[in-house]
Amino acid sequence: MSYKETERDALSECLHTEGVTEGPPPLSDEDLRLAATYVNDARNGSRGNFKNDPKSVRLYNLYNRPTFFWTSHIAVGVLLSLVLFEDPAVPNIRLDYWITMCVELFCVCLIFSRMAHQGLFSSEQNFWRSKRRLPVLVILLLTLVDMVQYVILRQIGVTSVRFSRPLRPLLLLCMDRAKQLRAVFKNILLTLPDIITVLTLFLLSVAFFALMALKIFQNRQDLVYYSDGHPYMHNYLDNFFQLYVLVTTANFPDVMMPAFDYNPWFTLFFIIYLIICLYLFMSICLATIYNNFKEHLKEYVEDSVREKQNNLQLAFDILKVETRQGGELLPKSRWMSLMRAVKPSRLDIEHSLLWDVLANDHAGYISESCMENLSTSKCCSKDMVTQISSG
């Protein structure tokens, strides 16, 4: 008896034990491709907002191919590096403006075609609801307008400034696989409102000590701070700036040496200031930033896990087989077909090993809860297979 016949008989026996009246019906290629797409999104942590029809699924998989993925990222990298060759450029590597314009136009067209590809498989509502597609479109349109006005003014001999250059780094936040970068940026923005109170109290403390320094040192004309004889601590804004820099210890002890030379007791003012503003308020500020950032990061991780489990749930709903008791199971035959579609470069023994990890009771099926554990399981490597086989 062949291996496939043995596996089929064992699967039928397991399904019969669980109350499945008949074997699993054949799975269409479209359903298998859709389930594999959901699993790939779970592996990559992607939020695949695509339509479920076969054409959209094929376009979405084409969109996620490494060739197109790296092409768009290289285009963004070239856009960022153009600043080295554009006027004003780094000496000895400056290029004519028409060369950099052609390269920039080509990169913009690549990024725009990437967005147009997204529109082919995304619904209109999801496409415009995305928080990163509209900014990319605005940046690209502003870049094109900037290029046109720069060329026109250049032809008539008028010097122009490229206002779209500062917008180029924002494209990094809108890349497909820059989810973690966007998460960090979002966590920083969410953390700022939580630390405004502490920062305000800290700045008010610096302002209070700046006023005290003004009252203490403004009537002492023989105290000089700068080599040009500028009065020491005689300007409130200058006092505020010097004390703010002192919190970073960048100007310590230079800022207090003139006062120390005049009277050593004046160092008590700076010691008290450092204790209150540096060691007290800065510690509170850092602790507040850390705790709030950690909370927002925890929420981000929980959302990512829920997205992965939701994608695996969608894949399980496609592959599942219902039992007579109303249960839902995933047979091993469909699992192997799924894994061959997800990772065709790996051996069947690796897929079977991952199956054994999920189905810890060595049954011929897994439940929905076991399928969700795939989001926290690492795909088995060849080294793992070799070690287990040799053991």
Residue 171: enclosing H or E segment and its boundaries?
helix 170-173
The answer on 359 and 287 residing in a single domain is no
The answer on 171 and 58 residing in a single domain is yes
Tell me the per-residue pLDDT of 75-95, one tens digit each, with 9 for 90 and over.
999 998 988 888 777 778 888
The answer on 381 and 284 residing in a single domain is no
pLDDT at 106 over 90: yes
- State residue 65's pLDDT score: 87
Kindly state the tokens that stand for 246. 């002192």
For range 66-75, the mean pLDDT? 87
Instruction: Give the residue numbers spanning the domain of 378.
Output: 3-20+323-390
- State residue 25's pLDDT score: 63
The Cβ of residue 80 has, within 10 Å, a number of other Cβ atoms equal to 15
Q: Strands of 321-322's sheet, edge to edge?
A: 321-322, 328-331, 365-366
For range 102-119, the mean pLDDT? 90
Kindly state the tokens that stand for 294. 């950690």
Whichever domain contains 204, its CATH number is 1.10.287
Nearest in space to 137 (alpha carbons), one of 117, 165, 108: 108
Query: Do the domain assignments include residue 36?
Result: no
CA distances from 129 to 46, 115, 181, 340 (A): 16, 14, 20, 34
Tell me the per-residue pLDDT of 4-41, one tens digit each, with 9 for 90 and over.
444 444 444 454 444 444 455 667 888 888 888 888 88
Higher pLDDT, 376 or 29: 29
Tell me the per-residue pLDDT of 220-232, one tens digit each, with 9 for 90 and over.
766 666 656 677 7
- Report the alpha-carbon angle 30-31-34, nearest 5: 85
pLDDT at 98 over 50: yes
- Rounded to whole angstroms, the Cα distance separating 371 from 315 reads 9
- Entry field: residues in the chain: 391
Q: How many domains does the chain have?
A: 3
The answer on 60 and 167 residing in a single domain is yes
For range 42-53, the mean pLDDT? 80
Which residue, of 107, 142, 175, is where some domain finishes? 175
pLDDT at 354 over 50: yes
The answer on 170 and 191 residing in a single domain is no
The answer on 193 and 166 residing in a single domain is no
- Rounded to whole angstroms, the Cα distance separating 309 from 368 reads 10
Which residue, of 141, 175, 209, is where some domain finishes? 175
The answer on 350 and 291 residing in a single domain is no
DSSP reduced 3-state for 75: helix
Query: Do the domain assignments include residue 122?
Result: yes
Q: Which residues contact 122 (CB under 8 A, 6 or more apart)?
A: 49, 50, 51
Query: Do the domain assignments include residue 39?
Result: no
Query: Do the domain assignments include residue 282?
Result: yes
- Inter-residue contact 255 to 223 (CB < 8 Å): no
The answer on 127 and 66 residing in a single domain is yes
- State residue 310's pLDDT score: 86
Q: What is the DSSP letter of 377?
A: P
- Rounded to whole angstroms, the Cα distance separating 215 from 323 reads 85
The answer on 327 and 292 residing in a single domain is no
Query: Do the domain assignments include residue 47?
Result: no
Query: Do the domain assignments include residue 310?
Result: no
The answer on 148 and 214 residing in a single domain is no
- State residue 107's pLDDT score: 92
Tell me the per-residue pLDDT of 187-227, one tens digit each, with 9 for 90 and over.
888 888 878 888 888 899 999 999 998 888 887 766 666 65
For range 332-346, the mean pLDDT? 83
Which residue, of 115, 146, 175, is where some domain finishes? 175
Query: Do the domain assignments include residue 28?
Result: no
Average pLDDT in the chain: 79
Higher pLDDT, 233 or 291: 291
Query: Do the domain assignments include residue 289?
Result: yes
The answer on 125 and 105 residing in a single domain is yes
The answer on 283 and 372 residing in a single domain is no
Single-letter amino acid, residue 205: S
Single-letter amino acid, residue 349: I
